[in-house]
Every structure is written in C-alpha cells, then in structure tokens.
C-alpha cells in the first residue's frame, strides 16, 4: 500500500498516555450503548463494567520514536482517504458527509458511550461520532490473527468508518429499533450490521484506488487486497470462538463467520456499489 506523502486527516485525537477516570461506567444511554457494543464485539459485559484492575494513570505516553510517528501518520492518512472517498460518495447521492474523529488511546478510554478497554478492539461510538483505536490491536492482527500488512490495518479502520456511515444514513438507528422490539433477533441483526460495515470497507478500497490522487501513487500494491481479505476471514466469529472455546455456537455470532466476512468485503471491493451492500435483504451463506 503506497500511502506516504498523501493527505493526512486533521481529525486524529491522540489520548495515549492520558489519565482515564476509574470506577464503574456511568448509567444512562452511554452505559446502554457500551453494553450493546460489548455484546456485538463478543466481550463479557462484566469485563466492561467492572472497576479497572489496572491504574490507567500510569499508562506511558506514546513513544516519541520514528516507528510511532510512522504509525500515527499511517492512521491519519487512511482516515484522510476515507474522508475523501465517502465525501464523494455522499455528494454523488445528494448528501453531505460529516467527518468523524479517530481517537488513539492506550489501554483504556472514556467515550460518550462509556468506558472502553483495548480488549474490546477498535470500536465506533455513535453518540460522539468517534472511532476509538488502541494501535496495539495491529500487533494482535499480525501475531494473534496471522493477518499482517498495512492494508489489513487499513481495512480495520475502514470497517469502523463503515459504522459511521451507517450512523449517518440512519441504518444503525433502524437496527437499534429491531433490537428493542425483538431482543431474540439482536445477535442476528448485529451480524448483518457488521457484514455491511465489511462491505462498506470494500467499497472504500474500490473507490479509493480509483481516486485520481491514489491512482497516481499506485495506491494498491500486489498482495494488498489479499491482506484485507485475510484479515476479514481471520476475525470471523467461528474462528474466534474456536480459538477461545474450542467449539462454535453460530446463534451467538455477532460479526459473522469467516466466510461471510470475506464474501461481503469482496462484494463491496468488486462492485464499489452501495446497493451491493444491502445485507438486510440478501441471502446469506
């Protein structure tokens, strides 16, 4: 992925090394949303709502090293590409895209949706329209999930931005209504929401490589698409459950199987079409 020298988004907020308030997550809508996030991400809610077992005030500030600066530049560049791509897509449909913020944190973070931990992985909070990312997840992606590569990392960011797109389009609100009216379908619609975010990430990759500036840089290199496809497949619910439990419970899936995540990213990447990403009215493998 050739990204150096491209425009960097100014919408990156670096909170690494900042003190995070201790104690339980506050009540109200923020706590409810964080609980939903935990369930969607497959995290034990008790792990989210318990008082932190570590002192986040001792988290070291970001290392002032060339490697750290390189990674922050990478995140800002990928975010910039998502802004350019989705702004154009929204403009083409007569809408206005609103840029989200991306918050870098280390260990734990306060969001408008409550207290989040790195163990949750990257997440999007619709209340403050921010993506939260502990960049140590990229190490997990490479080492634990065996999905290395900068385009695999870009896919992770693009997936979370996909949730922002869903929020702006009102899709997330519609899913919340379904969850409230029919709790037994909560997991099923969560899967559809996540698969659509995968498809939107594919649209981003498709449209970005066709962008004039990206084309001039030959944005995608040989093997990049395979990196994203591998990342999508390696973090499927079936693989994660087998790793954690040794068995699979399909009815508890919240993100979709490896095959589903792979197929929906491919669908967005091959078509570049929003219509192709209607996971809610499509047949699923």
pLDDT at 164 over 90: yes
Give the pLDDT mean for 102-125. 92
- Residue 234's nearest CA partner among 202, 204, 259 is 259
Could you tell me the pTM of the whole model? 0.81
Strands 123-125 and 130-133: antiparallel
Position 61 scores a pLDDT of 53
Query: What b-and-e string marks burial along 116-153, b requiring 16 or more CB atoms within 10 Å of the CB?
Result: bbbebbbbbbbeeebbbbbbebbeebeeebebebbbbb
What percent of the chain shows pLDDT beyond 90? 45
- Residue 142's nearest CA partner among 132, 156, 131, 162 is 156
User: Can you tell me the distance from the alpha carbon of 278 to that of 261, in angstroms, rounded to the nearest whole number?
Assistant: 14
pLDDT at 47 over 80: no
Q: 218-233 pLDDT, tens per residue?
A: 677 777 778 877 887 7
Give the pLDDT mean for 181-188. 87
Give the pLDDT mean for 20-48. 48
Paired tokens of 23: 């104690």
Paired tokens of 206: 């498709």
pLDDT at 26 over 70: no
- Residue 269's nearest CA partner among 211, 215, 204 is 204
Position 50 scores a pLDDT of 46
């Amino acid at each position: 992925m050739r990204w150096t020298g491209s425009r960097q988004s100014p919408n990156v907020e670096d909170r690494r090394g900042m003190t995070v308030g201790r104690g339980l997550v506050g009540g109200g809508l923020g706590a409810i949303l964080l609980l939903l996030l935990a369930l969607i991400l497959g995290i034990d809610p008790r792990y989210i709502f318990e008082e932190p077992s570590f002192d986040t005030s001792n988290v070291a500030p970001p290392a002032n090293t060339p490697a750290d600066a390189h990674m922050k530049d990478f995140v800002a560049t990928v975010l910039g590409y998502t802004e350019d791509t989705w702004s154009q897509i929204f403009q083409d449909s007569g809408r206005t895209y609103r840029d989200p913020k991306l918050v870098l944190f280390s260990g734990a973070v306060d969001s408008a949706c409550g207290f989040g931990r790195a163990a949750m992985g990257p997440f999007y909070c619709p209340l403050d329209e921010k993506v939260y990312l502990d960049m140590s997840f990229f190490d997990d992606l490479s080492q634990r999930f065996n999905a290395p590569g900068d385009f695999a990392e870009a896919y992770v960011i693009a997936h979370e931005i996909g949730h922002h797109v869903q929020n702006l389009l009102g899709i997330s609100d519609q899913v919340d209504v379904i969850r409230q009216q029919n709790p037994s379908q909560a997991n099923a619609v969560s899967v559809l929401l996540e698969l659509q975010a995968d498809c939107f990430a594919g649209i981003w990759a498709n449209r970005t490589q066709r962008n004039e500036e990206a084309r001039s840089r030959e944005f995608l290199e040989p093997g990049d698409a395979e990196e994203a496809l591998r990342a999508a497949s390696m973090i499927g619910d079936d693989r994660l459950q087998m790793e954690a439990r040794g068995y699979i419970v399909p009815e508890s899936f919240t993100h979709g199987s490896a095959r589903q995540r792979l197929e929906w990213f491919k669908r967005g990447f091959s078509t570049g079409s929003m219509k192709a990403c209607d996971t809610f009215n499509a047949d699923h493998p």
